[in-house]
Amino acid sequence: MMNERQDPLLKVSHLRMHFPMIKGLIPKACAYVKAVEDVSFEIEKGKTLGLVGESGCGKTTIGKCILRVHEATSGTVLFHGQNILDMSRKEHRQVRRKIQMIFQDPYGSLDPRQTAFDIVREMYVADGATHSREEAAKRVNELMTLVGRPPELGSRYPHEMSGGQRQRLGIARALACSPELLICDEPVSALDVSIQAQVINLFKRLQRELSLSYLFIAHDLVVVRHIADQIIVMYLGHIVEVAEAEELCRKPYHPYTQALLSAIPGVDYDAERARERIVLEGEVPSPTKAPSGCPFHPRCPYASEACQRKMPKMKQVKPGHQVACYRVDWERKCD
């Protein structure tokens, strides 16, 4: 008997986040920055969804909308089937412990006046329940060991640690709430390459042992490919392509995804010299003056009049592989 597909842990539908632009002495919204525009995706329990794109494409804004750091303009965010965006503060406080964030800057996200032990302990006891001193100390030491940091380093302050140690501390702090979903916002971009590999391996081990789910936000496709089950590619607030990680890297359809992959350096010298790279012209448009139609059309070598008029809808090109591009439609009709 075949197993029925389980409901997703997190389901985001038609999420929009528009920030008002305030000008003049009298506060008045004269325009809006459309940071996130009609974004939908799902994350299953124990799986990792990678969110990839250039700086300013709306990746971090999506994570903050899920946490309600930003109140979304419209859309729904279902966690275990409940809409987070409609919850009262009391209800959201309970759910918020199950969704934690790991930040890009491990030093800036930690209190410099607290020791590592106190940083983790503070999060553990923040649920309001009564915890004895011995119970709290035992749990903190377990978490420090779990992330690969000896408990005796708990007396150190953040400035006395390396970047990798601080990020491990940030992970331990997030795990103190026993979360189900971790939103990882560029968690390895500030680390050395060798330390990046160690932290990625740590994320994988924690996922196996604790059945964690990840929303892994990054701009580096190489990093995301090694941890994500599925990858979403974003450009200027829009999703342009979605596929399984290996499928996306093997056969990208959207010109922007192709350009991202062509920029990844290889290790074979001769193959690198012979490989043709896709060089995009121009810069990413300002979100305050986003182009009409497909946001990528000013830089796309295949742009047509249709691209300038209307944003293409997401269409399935293969099972589990979707892309928003008129060129793909045209190529499929010609096959």
- Model confidence pLDDT, tens digit, residues 265-280: 766 656 666 667 777 7
Task: List Cβ neighbours of 10 (8 Å cut-off, separation of 6 or more).
Answer: 42, 43, 66, 77, 78, 79, 181, 213, 215
User: Where are the chain's structural domains?
Assistant: 10-98+179-334
Q: What residue ranges of the chain have pLDDT lower than 70? A: 1-5, 24-30, 128, 266-275, 329-335
Amino acid occupying residue 212: L
pLDDT for 2 equals 46
pLDDT for 283 equals 79
The rounded distance, in Å, linking the Cα atoms of 117 and 162 is: 16
pLDDT tens, position by position, 164-215 = 899 999 999 999 989 999 999 999 888 888 889 999 999 999 999 999 999 9
pLDDT for 127 equals 72
pLDDT for 1 equals 39
Q: What homologous superfamily does CATH list for 10-98+179-334?
A: P-loop containing nucleotide triphosphate hydrolases (3.40.50.300)
**Token pair belonging to 189:** 């971009």
Helix (H, G, I), strand (E, B) or coil at 303: coil
What single string gives the DSSP state of each residue in 80-120?
TTEEGGG--HHHHHHHHTTEEEE-S-TTTTS-TTS-HHHHH
pLDDT for 37 equals 93
pLDDT for 335 equals 47
Long-range contacts of 88-96 (CB under 8 A, 24+ apart): 92/68, 96/67, 96/68
Q: Is the dihedral of CA 253, 258, 260, 266 positive or negative?
A: positive
**Token pair belonging to 89:** 């503060």
Yes or no: say if 52 and 218 are a contact pair by the CB < 8 Å rule.
yes
pLDDT for 194 equals 85
pLDDT for 152 equals 83
